[in-house]
């Protein structure tokens, strides 16, 4: 996943973190990405390298959630 930074120009920041507290219903891993614009996020969403990671995640997880927000 982290290699996407070198493959997708519009991706300005990427971080993967493991959840240290698994006692409550939650997810195991978080992926945080930063983009300059919402248009750049759209470019990322359909980029072939990102879609490869999406397929890998789908094949190896039982569920996922996505949150997109501006800051």
Better-scored residue on pLDDT, 54 or 23? 54
Is the confidence at residue 27, as pLDDT, over 90?
A: no
User: Which domain covers residue 39, as residue numbers?
Assistant: 4-60
Query: What's the structural domain count of the chain?
Result: 1
Q: What pLDDT, in 10s, does the model give residues 32-67? A: 999 999 999 999 999 999 999 999 999 998 888 899
Q: What is the pLDDT of residue 11?
A: 97
Classify residue 19: in a domain, yes or no: yes
Classify residue 39: in a domain, yes or no: yes
Round to the nearest angstrom and report the end-to-end CA distance of the chain: 23
Q: What is the pLDDT of residue 39?
A: 96
Assign residue 18 the CATH number of its domain. 3.30.70.100
β-strands 29-34, 13-18: how paired? antiparallel
Is the confidence at residue 22, as pLDDT, over 80?
A: no
**Torsion of the alpha carbons at 18, 23, 26 and 27, rounded to the nearest 10:** 30
């Amino acid at each position: 996943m982290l290699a996407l930074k070198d493959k997708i120009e519009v991706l300005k920041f990427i971080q993967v973190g493991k959840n240290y507290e698994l006692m409550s219903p939650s997810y195991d891993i978080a992926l945080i990405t930063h983009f300059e614009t919402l248009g750049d996020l759209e470019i990322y969403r359909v980029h072939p390298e990102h879609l490869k990671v999406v397929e890998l995640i789908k094949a190896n997880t039982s569920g996922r959630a996505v949150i997109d927000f501006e800051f």
